[in-house]
Structure 1
Amino acid sequence: MSKIGIETTQNVQLNFPLASVGERIAAYLLDSLFMGVFAMFIFMIFAVLGEPYVFILLLTIPILVYTLVFETFMNGQTPGKRIMKIKVCRVDGDSPAFWHYLIRWMFRLVDISLTNGVAAILTIVIGEKGQRIGDILAKTTVVKTNHTVKLTHTILSEVPDNYQLVFPESRKIVDKDVELFKKVIQQLKTMDDHVEKLTFGLKARGKVMQQLGIKTEMPPEQFFQTLIDDFNFLHKNI
């Protein structure tokens, strides 16, 4: 299974399984099917009403912006991508903004429409990050969601009433840091190779320790959970 190593803004690298070409083509075909059903529905309505010009307008606009709208409001997914359990993400680990989706959408003309998808398939297969031209320019890629690191639905979680702050430096932590810590913990839990797990954990811990100015010999997984608990304690008592 091809993976991409995503270097986060905190300089910690996480591995995400890339969506295969087959999965991306399947998602595209599903979305095409949905657009076809929509077009048929609109056609039937306006065939009865006898308004061909309005039909063309109402049919063209939604189909043109289908991908852009769904990816923007469905967190990097279209209905086809959701069914195939894949999504768009940035190669630096952050969530894409509207302009990232806009660039991908604009270059669908080159990647897919004008070349019948040949340009997209070639660049995805040849490149190491599973990117078509639009992805390269937007600095995005498409990854699997059924294997990607999962986060809890909220940043904040409960801590015991008698909890005591472990690292005063945790006051420097922001929301994005907590998301990273959760991703690191989840990735550590999925790693079977003990040497690889220890190497990754110590490297991630070292970079975060340097960033926050912390010195500790606490095991990596416990270290990151402690930072999350400290963050929640501090925000609970604001």
Structure 2
Amino acid sequence: MTNQTNTKTESNIGSRILAGFIDYLIIYIFFFAYVYTYGEPDPDGGYSVNGLPALIPILFWGLMTIGLEQLFGATIGNSIVGLKPISINGISKNLSFGQSALRHLFDPIDMFFFGLVGILTIQNSEKNQRVGDIVAKTIVVKIKKEK
């Protein structure tokens, strides 16, 4: 028997799309700047980074998604739009490292076809969860503004 929270959730589709856009805009800007700066020209007219330096963008992605959720409870995008992912396990509302990693490993699936998979999943799941949230047993809630 699992002890899951009954926290009320809302779909917050617009806010969630904006948060994801902000997060991945930062990640893509870093990726392209890094590859253009440190990459070598390839025969197709582009740039590529090979070997150990190719891990830098992956590490940056992990820091921007998983790392920030672990340190501050939300990514930059979620913080800006007033959202926070929490655990539904009922024990602790803070995400474990594994939950955060699972959420973001499913980002490519949730963002497939311009985010259609994530949008449809959020709109049709009981707790307004995207695929990554369902797998990681998390929900996304609005942060209450302090007056």
TM-score range, shorter chain: 0.7 to 0.9
Higher RCO by CA contacts (8 Å cutoff, separation 6 or greater):
2
| Residue of structure 2 in register with 1:31 after alignment | 23
**Map of 2:98 onto structure 1:** 99
CA distance in 2, matches of 1:115, 1:36: 17
Shift of 1:120: 0.9
Shift of 1:118: 1.4
What is the correspondence of 1:63-212 to structure 2 with a 5 Å cutoff? Answer: 64-65=61-62, 66-75=64-73, 77-93=74-90, 94=92, 95-112=94-111, 114-147=112-145
Unaligned runs of 5+ in 2: 41-46
Against the structure 1 CA distance between its residues 124 and 51, is the aligned structure 2 distance closer, same or farther, given a 3 Å change threshold? closer
| TM score, norm. by length of structure 1 | 0.48
Q: CA deviation at 1:121?
A: 0.6
Superposition pairs of residues 194-233 of structure 1, within 5 angstroms: none
Residues 87 and 53 of structure 1, relative CA distance in 2, 3 Å threshold: same
Shift of 1:79: 0.8
TM-score if structure 2 supplies the norm length?
A: 0.73
Counting aligned pairs with the same residue, the percent is 29
1:19 deviates by 5.5
- Residues 52, 100 of structure 1: alpha-carbon distance in 2 compared, 3 angstrom cutoff: closer
Secondary structure class of the residue paired with 1:53: coil
Given residue 96 of structure 1, which amino acid in structure 2 is its aligned partner?
L
1:62 aligns with 2:62: no
Partner letter of residue 104 of structure 2? Answer: W
* Unaligned 5+ runs, structure 1: 1-5, 151-238
Query: How big is the shift at 1:142?
Result: 0.5
Q: Aligned to 1:116, what secondary structure does the other structure show?
A: helix
**Kept after mapping to 2: 8 A contact 1:89/1:143:** yes
Return the index of the structure with the highest Cα Rg: 1
**CA pair 128-42 structure 1, distance change in 2 beyond 3 A:** same
2: CA distance, partners of 1:129 / 1:122: 13
Whichever residue aligns with residue 36 of structure 1, its letter is Y
Question: Equivalents in 2 of 1:126, 1:19: separation in Å?
Answer: 9
- Distance in 2 (alpha carbons) for counterparts of 1:40 and 1:55: 17
CA distance in 2, matches of 1:133, 1:96: 16
How many angstroms apart in 2 are the aligned matches of 1:115 and 1:40?
A: 22
Structure-2 change in CA distance of 1:120 and 1:52 (3 Å): closer
* Counterpart code for 2:50: Y
What secondary structure sits across from 2:67 in the alignment?
helix
Counterpart-to-counterpart distance in 2, 1:46 and 1:140: 37
Q: How many positions carry a matched residue from both structures?
A: 135
Contact 1:91 1:141 in 2 (8 A): yes
Residue aligned with 1:129, SS: coil
The CA deviation string for residues 79-106 of structure 1, in whole angstroms up to 9 with x for no partner, is 1111111110012442221111122122
